[in-house]
Amino acid sequence: MGLAASARGIIKVLLKHGADVNALSAAGVSPIHTIIETADKDPSEPAERLHAITTGSAPGMLDIDALDKDGMTPLARLVSMRAVRTLRQRMLVMLVRNGANIHAKQKCGAQNSLCSGGTPLHFACYNHDPVMLKFLIDKGASEDVNSRTDAGFTPLMILVTAAAEGIIARNELASMKNILLDAGADPTVKNSEGKSAQDIWIEKNPSTGQHWIWKSMLGALDDSNYVRE
């Protein structure tokens, strides 16, 4: 029996015999967060373990929106990670299918202060995965497209900042920017410092020209790249 299959089986046996699916570790970490946090360390097992804990738990028992020490739900934590894209997308589908709240706001201090107090959509915009962003939008995150973090940043502002910091490539920026604009993102909204997304880009990239980011650089996403349930 492979290690992944063994771990999956052990989880199901423990749950079948009454293990508390929400019990915290000594460090205050829930089982589902432990699984999520392994996604960027060992891509061979997390999806199977997540499937085991979501399908093996009694109906209504698993706290799919449990908060970790940073006030983040499993969904928010997952979309903020640099895990293998295909693995992250697969786990994202599982969480949403099992009722994860795509609108849940982070409750306390964050590793990324720009996203502090934001929704999963904000964290997804500080990443480099247009497919994941499109999936969230299509599942209802468009309601949060102009919501602000504690620092007053919209998802579009965070996307521009991530691109300026080299986290997101320009082709990904163009694609993700179009997804947000198509979902109703307002590029004129200003943060607590009175700056719009375009102002932020110009400030961080004064030599690249004031308008290229707002030009349509890529067409719609190819359907072949869409996350399938």
For the domain spanning 109-225, the CATH number is: 1.25.40.20
b (16+ CB within 10 A) / e for 160-181:
bbbbbeeebeeebbbbbbbbbe
Q: Work out the pLDDT band at 226, boundaries 50, 70, 90.
A: very low
Q: Which residue has the higher pLDDT, 192 or 226?
A: 192
pLDDT digits (tens, 9 = 90+) for 40-69: 887 778 999 999 999 999 889 999 999 998
Q: Which residue has the higher pLDDT, 225 or 102?
A: 102
- Count of CA atoms in the C-beta half-sphere (13 A) of 12: 12
Q: What is the pTM of this model?
A: 0.84
pLDDT digits (tens, 9 = 90+) for 151-191: 899 999 999 999 988 898 888 888 999 999 999 999 999 99
Where are the domains positioned within the chain? 109-225
Q: Which residue has the higher pLDDT, 6 or 10?
A: 10
Mean pLDDT of 89-106: 96
Separation of alpha carbons 92 and 75, rounded Å: 7
Please, are residues 100 and 93 in contact by the beta-carbon 8 Å criterion? no
Calculate ∠ Cα 121-40-178, nearest 5°. 30
Interhelix angle for 170-182 vs 155-164, to 10°? Answer: 170
pLDDT exceeds cutoff 70 at 135:
yes
